[in-house]
Amino acid sequence: VAIANNLCANIIGVNENTIEWCPNDEPPDRLETLVWWWVVRPDLGAAIAKEAPQELKQIISQYILQN
């Protein structure tokens, strides 16, 4: 979640039992959408990376290599 909020400021809201999507743009831009999908479905990282800008691709790649 911290990485997501670094890429897109305050995009993920954290509550006691839930997280919420708080996009900055209306409608949400492509990066915000991809970051949200990766936060809730990290198992789809490789598929998300195919559509992601370089910075997000690198972060997803590092995550995959560490896990």
Amino acid found at 16 = E
Q: What is the pLDDT of residue 25?
A: 86
Q: What is the pLDDT of residue 23?
A: 92
31 Cβ partners below 8 Å, 6+ apart?
7, 8, 52, 53, 56
Q: What is the pLDDT of residue 5?
A: 83
Q: What is the pLDDT of residue 53?
A: 96
Q: What is the pLDDT of residue 6?
A: 87
Q: Sketch the domain layout of the chain as residue ranges.
A: 2-66
List Cα–Cα distances, 34 to 3, 14, 44, 49, in angstroms: 13, 18, 10, 9
Residue 34: which of 20, 24, 44 has the closest Cα?
44
**Length of the chain counted residue by residue:** 67
Give the tens place of pLDDT for each residue, 1-58: 788 888 888 889 999 999 999 998 899 999 999 999 999 999 999 999 999 999 999 9
The pTM for the full model equals: 0.84
